[in-house]
Structure 1
C-alpha cells in the first residue's frame, strides 16, 4: 500500500484539495495548510513502511497506539493537533475537521478501486488507526483552542463593560464630591447652581446603579418576582423621581392622569428600571427647556406606557439599532449605551414589547406594550367579594 500511496501522492492530494475548497470559508488560501493532509499522507506512508520491517511496533512512534494517545506520543498526534488549531484560525468548524481526514480515506479507496489496487486487511487497519488518532488529536486541539477563544472574548467583553461602568461611576462620584466640597465651604447654598450639580450627579449615580442591577438580574436569569400592582401608583412613583431629573435638566415634565383601576402583573423592579431608563434617556437628549411626557393608558386588552421627548427626531438609519448594547447615536456620548438594551430585555421578560416611533423634526416616542389587568373591584362599590379580580389577558 505504501508503494501505491507514493506513486499516487499528487493525485490524492489534488482530490482532497478539491473537496476542502468546496467547504472552505470565503478568502481561504488555495495552498494547503501547513500541518494538513500532505503531512498526514507522508506519515501514513512512513508508518506502513516501518510495519514492513523486522520491528513493526516502532511504527507507533509515528502513528500512535490503537485507541489514541496524547499528542506528544506520536508524530501524527503532534501534527494533527497543529492542523486542528490551523483549521480553527481559518474559520472551519469542528465537523470540517473530521471531514478533512475523511476526504483522504475516501480518495485512497476510490483511487484504489479505479486502478484495481489491492489493500490488505492489515494495511487498512493501519490506515484506520492513523485516521482515528489524527482525527482525535485534531478535534481535541480544535476544542481547546475554541474554548480559549470564547473565554478570551467573554473576558474582553466583561472587562469592557466593567471599564465603562467604573468610568461612569468615577465621573459621577467625582462631580458629586466636588459639588459637596464647594457647598461645605459655606459660600454657596444647596438651592443654587452648585446644589443642582450635586442633584444631577446623585440622580446619575442612582440611575447607573439601578440599570446595572437590572442587567445583572437579566443576565443571571434570576426568576421574575411577578405581582399585581396599580398602574396609577407605579406612574406616580416614576413621576416623583423624574421630576428631580426634569428640574436638573431645566425642562418640563408632563404626566397624564391614569385610570385607578388599571393594573400590571409583572416584576415591578424590572419594569421600574425599564421605564426609568427611558425617562433618563429622554431627559438626556431632549432639547433644553423643552418637554418630556409620560403617558399611561389602556387600549383594548393592552396597557401602553409612552415616554415622549423633543430631541429633534431620530438620526437617519434603522431605529432598531438603538436597542443594541453599547450603542449611542446622539451627540451626548456620556453613559454606557446600555439603557435601551436593558429596558427592552426587561420589558420582554415581562411579556411586553418595547418599540420606538420617530416624530420627524420633533422627537421620538418610546412605547412599552404590556398585557392589561385590573385591580380588585371594592366590595362597597359592587357588592362583590373584595378579592374579585378582572383580568383581560
Structure 2
C-alpha cells in the first residue's frame, strides 16, 4: 500500500525534498514554515490514502478536495497549501517555487519507490495526482492573490503620495496668489510692485505645475505621440515668450540665441514644449539671484541640440546620476514635486531623443536635448 510506504519512509522523503530545495537559491524559512509545506502535505496524503481503503472512501475528499479542478471547495490540503503559498511570497520567492515544492515530493516518491522496487496501484497514483493537483492549484491561487494585493496596495500608496504632493504644491501656490490678490485689492496697490511680483510668481508656478502634470498624464497613460515636422526657430520663440515671464518673476536674466530658420525637428510639439519648459523652470529655480539663464538651439551634424544653461554654482558629487529620478530634489529649494526632470526625460525619449546634463564646475549646469535633425524643406 502506498500509505504504508509513505509512512515508513516519511523522514527519508522529507530529507530528499529539502536536499532538492538546497540546490536552488537558499530559502530563509523558519521551522514552522517548513513544516507547513511538504511535511504537512505528506501527512495529509497518507491520511487520504488510508481513508480510501475504508468502507467510505469518498470521505477522503474532506482532506484532499475533489478531482477535476471544479469549483473551489474547502479541504485540509487546500487550506494548508494556501498558507504555504502565502509564506513563500513572504519569503520573496516566485510562483515557480510554489510548484517546485510539490513537484519535489512527487519526484522523491517516484525515485524512492523505484529504488525499493515498491509497486503502487493505479488508483493510488490517481489519488497522489489529485492531491498534488489541488495543493498546487490552491497554493498558486493564494500566492497570486496575495502578490496582486501587495502590488495593488503599493501602487495605491504611490498614487496617494503623488496626489498628496500635487495637492500640497497646488495649495501653496494658490494660497500665495490669493493673499497677493487680496493685498492688491484691499490696499489699492498696483501690480508692478513687490506684491504684484508675488502674484505673478504664483500664477506662473500654477501654470508650470499644471503643464507638467498634463505631460505626465499623457506619458503614463500611453497616449500616442503625435509627431510633426516643425521649425525649431518658431518653437524656441514660443518657449521664450513664456520663459520671459518666469525670468522676471524670478529676478533673472534670460538670453536666447538666434536660431537658423531652416532647422526643424520631427516631434510631438506639446511633449517637447513640456520638456523644455520643465528645464527652463528648473534653471530659474536654481540659478543664483540676478544671474543669467540661457537657451540655445543649434545643429551639429545630423542632430539638433537644445541647451538650457543656468548659474546654480554646479552640482554636488553624484547628483547628475540621480537627478532624473522621480521625486528627487537635489538643491536647497525643495518646492515642487521633484518630477520636472523625470517628466522632461520621458518626454524627450518619447520623441527618439536624449536628455543629458553637464556640470560646469563652480558655474552651473547645462541640460541638453539631443534630437534627430530635419529641415523645413522636409515638411
TM-score range, shorter chain: over 0.9
CA distances 1:177-212 after superposition (whole Å, capped 9, x unpaired): 000000001253210111101111000000000000
Question: For 1:80-159, what aligned pairs fall within 5 Å after superposition?
Answer: 80-159=81-160
In 1, are the aligned partners of 2:244 and 2:254 still within 8 Å (CA)?
Answer: yes
Question: Structure 1 residues 324 and 297, CA, compared in 2 at 3 Å: closer, same or farther?
Answer: same
8 A Cα contact 2:319 2:330, kept in partner: no
8 Å CA contact retained: 1:24, 1:92: no
Structure 1 residue 131: Cα displacement: 0.4
Structure 1 pair 363/26, CA: closer, same or farther in 2 (3 Å)?
farther
Residue pair 1:6, 1:45 contacting (<8 A) in 2 also:
yes
- The answer for the alignment partner of 2:36 in structure 1 is 35
SS of 1:73's equivalent in the other structure is coil
- 2:205 alignment counterpart: 204
Conservation of the 8 A alpha-carbon contact between 2:33 and 2:84: no
- Tell me whether 1:350 sits opposite 2:346 in the alignment: no
Aligned residues: 378
Residue pair 2:320, 2:357 contacting (<8 A) in 1 also? yes
Residue 68 in 1 paired to residue 82 in 2?
A: no
1:380 is matched with: none
CA contact (8 A) 1:62 1:75 kept: yes
Q: Using structure 2 for the length normalisation, give the TM-score.
A: 0.96
- State which drifts further: 144-153 or 192-201: 144-153
CA displacement, residues 141-197 of structure 1 (integer Å, 9 cap, x when unaligned): 111111111111111111111111111101100000000000001253210111101
8 A contact 1:25–1:91 mirrored in 2 = no
* Distance in 2 (alpha carbons) for counterparts of 1:264 and 1:72: 62
1:26 deviation in Å?
Answer: 6.2
Residue in 2 that maps onto 1:179: 180
Cα deviation for residue 25 of structure 1 reads 5.3
- SS of the residue corresponding to residue 323 of structure 2 reads helix
Contact kept, 8 Å, 1:203 with 1:245, in 2: the verdict is yes
1:1-393 correspondence runs (5 A): 1-24=2-25, 27-29=28-30, 32-69=33-70, 72-317=73-318, 319-376=320-377, 389=378
Whether the 8 Å CA contact 1:71–1:81 is kept in 2: the answer is: no
TM-score of the pair, normalised by structure 1 = 0.93
**Runs of 5+ consecutive residues of structure 1 not aligned to the other structure:** 377-388
Deviations 1:287-311 (A, max 9, x none): 1111111000011111100001111
Q: How far apart, in 1, do the equivalents of 2:92 and 2:142 lie? A: 15
2:33 touches 2:87 (CA, 8 Å); kept in 1? no
Q: Find the residue that maps to 1:185 and give its secondary structure.
A: helix
Query: Aligned-residue CA RMSD in angstroms?
Result: 1.5
Higher relative contact order (CA 8 A, sep 6+): 2
**Unaligned stretches of 5+ in structure 2?**
none
Structure 1: distance between partners of 2:31 and 2:166: 45
Determine if contact 1:21/1:30 at 8 Å carries over to the other structure: no
The offset of 1:31, in angstroms, is 6.0
Task: State how far apart, in whole Å, the 2-side matches of 1:24 and 1:140 are.
Answer: 23
1: CA distance, partners of 2:170 / 2:24: 48
Residues in 1 aligned to 2:203 and 2:28: alpha-carbon distance in whole angstroms: 52
Aligned counterparts of 1:51 and 1:26: Cα–Cα separation in 2: 35
Alpha carbons of structure 1 residues 139 and 156: separation in structure 2 relative to 1, 3 Å: same
- Looking at structure 2, the residues matched to 28 and 251 of structure 1 have their Cα atoms a distance apart, in angstroms, of 60
Contact 2:176–2:202 (Cα < 8 Å) also in 1: yes
Kept in 2: contact 1:23–1:96 (CA 8 A) = no
Partner of 1:386: none
CA contact (8 A) 2:99 2:136 kept: yes
